[in-house]
Amino acid sequence: MFIIPGFLVSFLTFPGVIMHELGHQLACWICKICVFKVKYFQFDTKTGGFVQHEKTDNPWKSLLITYGPFILNTLLGTILVFPVALMWTYQSFGATLPVWVKLACYALAYLGVSCLANAFPSSGDAGVLFTSVVKNKAIPLFIRVIVAPFVGIIYLCSLAKFFWFDFVFALGVPQLIYSLISHNPPHFWTMW
């Protein structure tokens, strides 16, 4: 497997890292959880950014805060890659577009792909969710059972990132949109 250090990927996709942290922050705000410090992006080899917030015993709030980036980044990423998918559809009919439109589409696609690639919660996020909910005996068992698979999913995705799962997802979303609009099979790399 072709390995690129994680921090380098973070640097290259820094808009997505910023959105990831904003996702946590927004989820905290929705849940009325106090946020003490937010670092949207930093040149650090360990972590690209962080959100320091108060702990909560509410499992649903914990779940939402953990999955906040996934929701925000996926939504925003999908919006941002939509133009490029439309552009491909348009081009698949043999039509040509002005260069500025193509450039704008690809620029937004970069932002969109960055968001999508950073959509998945980190294993650190999973650790917090595991400790605050799954391991917390004060929380009813059935809730812990419900939340546990969400923790497992994050860990699985973290493992899959070794096989570039985050980028497969990030590059796959625009292709999926293209396929749904144009009814054509995706072309994968040739489209980019």
Partner 1 sequence: MDGMEQNDSFGAELCRVCGRRYIDRNSGNPGEFMCRECRQEYSKLRVPKWLVACVAAAVIAAVVLCVYLASAYRNYYVGGRQAVTAREDLLRTAEKMAESGKQWSALGTIEEYLQDNPTNRDMAMEGTRMAMKYGLYDYAAYFIQNYISEKTSTRGEIKELNGYVDKINRYYDTGDAIQAVFDGLAEIDAESMSEAEIEQLRQSIRDRILNFTKDKQYDEGLAYISAAYYASADEEEAKEYLLKAADFPTAAPEACGRLAVYERQRGDFSKAEEWIKKGEALNGENTELARAKATILLAKGEYEAALPISEEIYSLAPDYMYVADTYAVNLYALGMTDKMEEIISKAAETNYEFAEDFYQLINGEISVREYYVSEEE
Instruction: Specify the residue, 2 or 36, whose C-beta has the smaller distance to partner 1.
Output: 36
Half-sphere exposure of 2 (CA within 13 A, CB side): 4
- Give me the least distance between CB of 180 and partner 1, in Å please: 14
Instruction: Specify the residue, 53 or 161, whose C-beta has the smaller distance to partner 1.
Output: 53
Bridge partners of 37, per DSSP, are 52
- Give me the least distance between CB of 172 and partner 1, in Å please: 17
CA 38 from centroid of its chain's CA atoms: 18
Strands 50-53 and 35-39: antiparallel
- Give me the least distance between CB of 53 and partner 1, in Å please: 9
Instruction: Specify the residue, 90 or 155, whose C-beta has the smaller distance to partner 1.
Output: 90
Query: Helix, strand or coil for residue 136?
Result: coil
The footprint of partner 1 (CB under 8 A) covers: 18-19, 22, 25-26, 29, 32-36, 38, 40, 54, 57, 76, 79-80, 82-83, 86-87, 89-97, 101, 104-105, 108, 111-112, 184-185, 187, 190-191
Within a 10 A sphere around the Cβ of 172, how many other Cβ atoms?
15
* Joined tokens for residue 32: 């009325």
- Give me the least distance between CB of 91 and partner 1, in Å please: 6
- Give me the least distance between CB of 30 and partner 1, in Å please: 9
Instruction: Specify the residue, 80 or 154, whose C-beta has the smaller distance to partner 1.
Output: 80
* Joined tokens for residue 138: 């004060």
Instruction: Specify the residue, 67 or 82, whose C-beta has the smaller distance to partner 1.
Output: 82
CB 7 within 8 A of CB 30: no
CB 177 within 8 A of CB 87: no
Q: How far apart are the first and last CA of the chain?
A: 22
